[in-house]
Structure formats: C-alpha cells, structure tokens
Structure 1
C-alpha cells in the first residue's frame, strides 16, 4: 500500500513534470518516436501488402516471413543492432528495431483485408472496364480499409508500449523514467513510469476508437 501512496506522491510532485528530465518532455519524446516509427512502418508494410493482396501472389509467404519476426524479442534485435555500424546512428538502432516490430501486424492485416474483399465485386469492376489501378484504389482499398486501420491501431499501441526500450540505447522517452528509477532504487518512480506508459497506450487506443467512430461509413466497413 505504501508503494501506491509513494507512487502517487511521485506523480503529483510538480518538479517531476518540468525540465529536460520531466514527464512532459519524456512524453513528447515518446510520442515523436512512436509517430516516426509508425509512419516508417506504414510506408514499408502497406504498399507491399496492398500490391501483393491485389495480385494474390506471394502475400502468404511475405506474411509468414514477417510473422517470424514476432518470435524475435525486440530487445534482442536492439542489442544486435547496437553491435553493428547502425549503432553509431544515434536513435537509428531503436527506430530500426521498432519498425521491424511494427511491420508484422500492418502487413498481415492489410494483406488479409485485401484478400477478404469479395472476388465477385472485383470481377464486376474489372468487367466494367476498370484498370488494375482503379480496382485497387477504387474498390479493394476502400473495402479493406477497416482491416488496414485495425492493423495500424494494433501497431501504434504496441509501439507505445515497446518504445520504452529506447532508454536502454541512451534514447529518450518514458522509458528513461523507468531506468532512472531502477538506477536510484526508487520503486515508486519505476511504478510511476510503467503507469505512464500504460495510460499513454490506453489513450492511443481510445483515440483510434474515437477516430473510427467519426470516420466515414466505408472506413468502418458499414457503408
């Protein structure tokens, strides 16, 4: 019970929220890292998934290969990258490790969403004279949008939770609060850092839910 009380005292101490080591600054670093990694992951995974899903060839192999990456701990990937020339790129190792971590849900959901589009609808669009590009962007992509956005939401929440590893490579983010707590043998600070990450992940999840509710019907898959 004392730990919870001490954690609350730590969180409500105004001095812990300001400055370069403060919560607001670490939260901003965490947010930027998450957005950058999510954007890079989307730029890599989504085009591949959309093209393979449209062609119906090679997608299963790509998904299986990407899913193998889920079995490799992100921390292990980060450590290996730190031992390579990539380790000299500042936040490069962390970004690469997190991008590799986020690709599987993005690729899998986008590909499955594309392949679950009713083939008769695609054939009808083709029969009407639509080109492959028009079918992809005008028919398949809108119908696959709900699954694609689900993959983006999953990847975003996972990135928020996993971006704490940046602290292990000397980077910023909320993970620095946790590692500093360990260094100081301060259990309240460690618990506070973990709570902040959990709350941030829940907020991101909630924002995606709100965005989905406010999105057009075709994005929600109800149109």
Structure 2
C-alpha cells in the first residue's frame, strides 16, 4: 500500500533524525505550543469556573458564551491575531487558548455544581468558611470533571496546533503543510501520523492519571453532573 511506503520513506529520511526538521525538534516545538496554551487557558478558565460553579451565578451565560467560542474558526483566529500582533507565537497561542479555555471553564463549573449539596451543607454546619468548602469539599469532588475537561482540551489543542505552520512557525504541522505544498506525500502522511500518535499518547496519559492520581473514591465518579436522589 502507498501509505506504508510513504511512512517508511518519511521515518528513514536522515533529515528526520538531525537538524531543524528532525522529528524530536518538531515534536518539542509542538509540545511547547500545546503546553503554553493549556497553561494559559487553565489559569484563565479554571479559577473563574470554580467560582461560578460554587456561587451558581451566570451559569447560563457561561454555557452560551462557551458554545459561541467553540464555534469560532481556529484558522480565522490565527489570521486575525497575525494581523493584530504580527507573525509569532502570540498568534497561535491566542487561537489555542480560545479553543481550550471554554472546555476547561465548563468542566470547572459543572464539576463544582455536581458536588453533593448535603456535603456542602454539612461542611458549612461544622463551621467551614465558603473558601474552605470550595477548596476542601467542592474541588476534590470536581477533580474527575476537571480531568475529563483537561483531557478533551489537550487532545483538541494537540490536533489544532498544526495551524502554527500556516503562520511560518514550527511544530508537527510543518510536515503536513510543507508536504502538501511540495506534493511530498510521505512527509504529509508522516506528519499526520505523528499528530495522531501524540493525541493517542495524551489520551493514554490521562487514563493513567485518572487511575493513579485520583483518590480511590473518585476514580469511578462521573465527570458530569448527576441528578439528585429523591429523599425518602
């Protein structure tokens, strides 16, 4: 099959082992874009989501705004950012943060809202302040939802970070774009495969994180808000 020979040609190319077009170098660039974007998105969205989820205010507005934000075209955002800020990392980060932040915001809001009201009432009853209730009761309860949101945001950002190549930057998208431009199909196929493998690797990492990092009582918890049980 053609694609098997394309991949063989791509990975056997000496340029993929050394120099600026090496796989390790392009992978490091890609991970840098993704890591910075996820860090900025988390700093912006998670604290706000925790606060809104705890107070229960503006949750309808959050849903509407995040729905609109998710519908924004990433390449269009990159192009607009280039026109405003010029070619550079900023253009890509703006687009990737705009992609990841809504997912993390909704995950934080829904995670805190899904905390059992009886637990919150009991915590307040023993004298905990609202801040203590949020951090000691609601945030641990929201961890499954936060991890699920972070997993979704990470996979989306990994796939979308290929747009960095459209504004002259690096990353794995460089292989895809340059391959298409020069009809170098082995390079295009190899770059696409690397993006897929990186996304699958991120998925596997979050599976392990969910298994070993969460307390045993939270590993099987649902990430979304569940219905309250009727009182008998």
TM-score by length of 2: 0.90
Q: After superposition, give the CA deviation of every residue in 1:74-93 in whole Å (9 maximum; x if it has no partner).
A: 11111122122x225x2101
8 Å contact 2:114–2:142 — kept in the other structure?
yes
Distance across 1 between alignment mates of 2:44 and 2:63: 13
Any idea what SS the aligned residue of 2:86 has?
Answer: helix
Distance across 2 between alignment mates of 1:67 and 1:176: 30
1:55 aligned residue: 55
Q: After superposition, give the CA deviation of every residue in 1:13-48 in whole Å (9 maximum; x if it has no partner).
A: 343222111111000000111111001000000000
8 Å contact 1:114–1:144 — kept in the other structure?
yes
- Higher mean C-alpha deviation, range 60-69 or range 91-100: 60-69
Is residue 2:103 matched to residue 1:110?
A: no
TM-score by length of 1: 0.94
Distance across 2 between alignment mates of 1:13 and 1:218: 49
Any idea what SS the aligned residue of 1:83 has?
Answer: helix
Q: Which runs of 5+ in 2 are unaligned?
A: 222-232
Residues 149-168 of structure 1 aligned to structure 2 (within 5 Å): 149-168=147-166
1:134 aligned residue: 132
Residues 82-121 of structure 1 aligned to structure 2 (within 5 Å): 82-84=82-84, 86-87=85-86, 90-121=88-119
Distance across 2 between alignment mates of 1:148 and 1:100: 17
Residues 1-223 of structure 1 aligned to structure 2 (within 5 Å): 1-84=1-84, 86-87=85-86, 90-215=88-213, 216-220=215-219
Distance across 2 between alignment mates of 1:208 and 1:108: 18
> Closer, same or farther in 2 for the Cα pair 1:6/1:221, shift >3 Å?
closer
Distance across 2 between alignment mates of 1:221 and 1:54: 22
Distance across 1 between alignment mates of 2:37 and 2:120: 33
Any idea what SS the aligned residue of 1:117 has?
Answer: coil
Distance across 1 between alignment mates of 2:188 and 2:117: 52
Distance across 2 between alignment mates of 1:182 and 1:205: 28
Q: Which runs of 5+ in 1 are unaligned?
A: none
Distance across 2 between alignment mates of 1:170 and 1:98: 16
Q: After superposition, give the CA deviation of every residue in 1:185-210 in whole Å (9 maximum; x if it has no partner).
A: 11111111100100011011111111
8 Å contact 1:63–1:107 — kept in the other structure?
no
Alpha-carbon offset, residue 221 of structure 1: 5.2
Tell me the matched-pair count. 220
Alpha-carbon offset, residue 11 of structure 1: 1.6
